[in-house]
Amino acid sequence: MLVVEADEYDRSFLHLHPDTAIITSTDADHLDIYGKKESLQESFAQFASQTEKGGNIILKAGLKFPAEVTARAITYHTTGQADIRLTRCELIGDTYQFSVRVKGRVMEHFVLGLPGYHNVENALAAIGACYMNGDSEEDIRTALASFKGVKRRFEYIIRRPDLVFIDDYAHHPEELNACISSVKKLYPGKKITGVFQPHLYSRTRDFYDGFAKSLGQLDDLILLDIYPARELPIEGVSSAALLEKILHSSKTLSTKEELPALIAAKQPEVLLMLGAGDIDMLVEPVRISLSQSLSAV
């Protein structure tokens, strides 16, 4: 079985004709390509309809699709009346243990070592896909328990009692919300410091309010300059303008060069580095700076 993470950017996922398609979200994004949310949703509907005849379409419950797609689809969600849903879920330490109902069959004793409740939701879709393709319950359970995740998806860089440092690729308001809210559940009472590098001028402009709301959940925010990727600057669009929209006062702008020393001086309890640009190049310098400051204490 070949597993592919399909990308809706530039409609590239429409080159695929999968045997099983999982669609987790149709949130507005890449509006520089699609122009409006409705065009993006039309492309997702086309992608789903390209699933091979006799294959499986697995949709997160609540997503809006044409009747000809939903008639073929099964749904998943952590709550509600989805075809694939949780029947039990407990957070024990930083490990989720849960049971799942898949089209009337209850499967118990799943263990997910990946942190973040959003990963439990992702696991439901994966469990459903494996089951629908003939994998045994025991094989699914074993595979899930052994899965270590992928780089820059809630990746622990430092994990010790006095400091947690997590690196994550989140670069859309809903992705940021999922990551930050999961961290707050995992580390209640801890001060959460976040570093975010906005990705694309157009995305920053289109989702100013969404970014402000998601990033406003942090206790302390450091914003880097916008990573332009394929774009030229857009007049009036900047990290400084985004910073003004975030309501709390513990916020600052930083250059990439200043960041390692700035973070070390803050002595964070929980640190998140977030973004899809070149912020990953700063992870190691920040780790070194933090390690040096901790060893000096």
Nearest to 228 by CA among 200, 251, 186, 208: 200
- How distant, in Å, are the alpha carbons of 8, 73, 174, 245 from that of 29? 9, 23, 10, 20
Strands (E), the chain: 20-23, 56-60, 73-77, 84-92, 95-102, 105-112, 155-160, 163-168, 192-197, 220-223, 251-253, 270-275
What is the per-residue pLDDT for 297?
Answer: 53
CA separation for the pair 85, 79 (Å, rounded): 6
Whole-number pLDDT of residue 154: 85
Burial class (CB in 10 A: 0-12, 13-18, 19+), 112: buried
| CATH 3.90.190.20 at 155-296, yes or no | yes
Q: What six digits make up the tokens of 137?
A: 């319950």
CB 215 within 8 A of CB 250: no
Q: Token digits for 15?
A: 């080159």
**What does the block give as tokens for 135?**
């994998």
In terms of DSSP bridges, do strands 270-275 and 163-168 run parallel, antiparallel, or are they unpaired?
Answer: parallel
pLDDT of residue 129: 96
Q: Which residues neighbour 145 within 8 Å (Cβ) at sequence distance 6 or greater?
A: 110, 111, 112, 113
56-60 and 20-23 beta bridge pairing = parallel
Q: What is the pTM of this model?
A: 0.78
CATH 3.90.190.20, the chain: domain bounds: 155-296
d(CA 228, CA 202): 9
CB of 78 within 8 A of CB of 88? no
**Phi and psi angles of residue 254, each rounded to the nearest 5 degrees, phi first:** -145, 150
Cβ burial of 39 (10 Å; 0-12, 13-18, 19+) is middle
pLDDT of residue 2: 82
User: Per-residue pLDDT for the chain (297 aa), expressed as one digit of tens each?
Assistant: 788 888 887 888 999 999 999 999 988 787 777 888 888 899 999 999 999 999 999 999 999 999 999 999 999 999 888 999 999 999 888 789 999 999 889 999 999 988 888 899 999 999 999 999 999 999 999 999 998 887 878 899 999 999 999 999 999 999 999 899 989 988 999 999 999 999 999 999 999 999 999 999 999 999 999 999 989 999 999 999 999 999 888 999 999 999 999 999 999 999 999 999 999 999 999 999 999 887 765
User: Strand 155-160 relative to strand 20-23: parallel, antiparallel, unpaired?
Assistant: unpaired
